[in-house]
Structures are given as structure tokens and as C-alpha cells.
């Protein structure tokens, strides 16, 4: 399979994960199920609602960047699209690495947040390298 296709699939999956995180952090932050996921109390969720929503918007924008890169690549500008994929998924990967690097107990969420971006970054870099 073409590495650009693998990078694109991984980028779309990463975008889906980050769009889901957006929903949790902006639309469902105070819901009991979301509080269980993030380990927050009702009081903490209420006090941090604005901060969580802001973070959720960042996650959504990263998802949009990853999908935009895939769309550009599919439209025929393969290397340009892969470069945009790298921006979006590279930031996602860095955030996951930061999460686990600053709190080892967050390894599971870091893997959930960072696995698809890692695949996208590695395969996009190799695909771009093969094209030059």
C-alpha cells in the first residue's frame, strides 16, 4: 500500500479521535461520563469548563488541519497535502508526548491521543522522502 495512503488514513483516524475529544471538552465537559473519563469532580468540572472548552477548540482545529491536508493530497497536491498532514498530526503527537512526559500515569490517554498521529507522521515523512 502507498505510504501516503497510510498517512492519510492515520491522519483521518487521528482527526476523529481529536474531534471526539473536542466534543468531550466543549459539549459534554460536565457530564458524569466525561467526568469519569477525565477524573474530575462536579466542582472541578464547573470551575474548569472554560479552560476545557478552549482546549477542545484546539483539538478540533488540529483535526481540521489533518483532514485539510488529506483533502489537499487527494486533490492532487500530494506533497503539499502531506506537509499539512504533518503539521496537524505532528502537533498532536507532540502533545501526547508532553502528556506522558509530564505525568507517567497518563500513558494510556497519551497512547490514545498519539498513536494515529505517530503513524501519520512517520509514514508521511517517508512518503515525502520517497517523492524527492
The 3-class secondary structure across the chain, one letter per residue, is: CCHHHHHHHHHHHHHHHHHHHHHHHHHCCCCHHHHHHHCCCHHHHHHCHHHHHHHHHHHHHHHHHHHHHHHHHHCCCHHHHHHHHHHHHHHHHHHHHHHHHHCHHHHHHHHHHHHHHHHHHHHHHHHHHHHC
Place of cell 508526548: 97
Angle at 39 between CA 67 and CA 58, to 5 degrees: 25
pLDDT value of position 131: 73
Tell me, rounded to whole angstroms, the distance of Cα 8 from its chain centroid: 13
Tens of pLDDT, residues 39-82:
999 999 999 999 999 999 999 999 999 999 999 999 999 999 99
Q: Is the pLDDT of residue 108 over 90?
A: yes
Domain range for 122 is: 3-131
pLDDT value of position 1: 73
Contact between 66 and 15 under an 8 Å Cβ cutoff? The reply is yes
The x, y and z cell numbers of residue 11, run together, are 491522519
Domain count, the chain: 1
**pTM for the full predicted model:** 0.93
Q: Is the pLDDT of residue 132 over 80?
A: no
The x, y and z cell numbers of residue 120, run together, are 501519520
Amino acid at each position: 500500500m502507498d505510504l501516503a495512503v497510510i498517512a492519510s488514513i492515520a491522519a483521518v483516524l487521528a482527526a476523529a479521535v481529536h474531534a471526539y475529544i473536542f466534543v468531550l471538552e466543549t459539549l459534554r465537559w460536565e457530564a458524569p461520563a466525561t467526568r469519569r473519563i477525565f477524573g474530575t469532580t462536579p466542582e472541578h468540572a464547573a470551575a474548569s469548563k472554560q479552560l476545557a472548552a478552549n482546549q477542545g477548540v484546539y483539538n478540533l482545529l488540529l483535526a481540521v488541519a489533518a483532514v485539510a491536508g488529506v483533502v489537499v493530497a487527494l486533490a492532487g497536491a500530494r506533497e503539499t497535502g502531506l506537509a499539512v498532514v504533518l503539521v496537524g498530526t505532528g502537533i498532536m503527537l507532540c502533545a501526547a508526548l508532553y502528556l506522558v512526559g509530564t505525568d507517567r500515569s497518563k500513558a494510556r490517554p497519551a497512547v490514545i491521543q498519539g498513536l494515529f498521529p505517530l503513524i501519520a507522521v512517520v509514514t508521511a515523512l517517508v512518503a515525502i522522502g520517497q517523492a524527492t
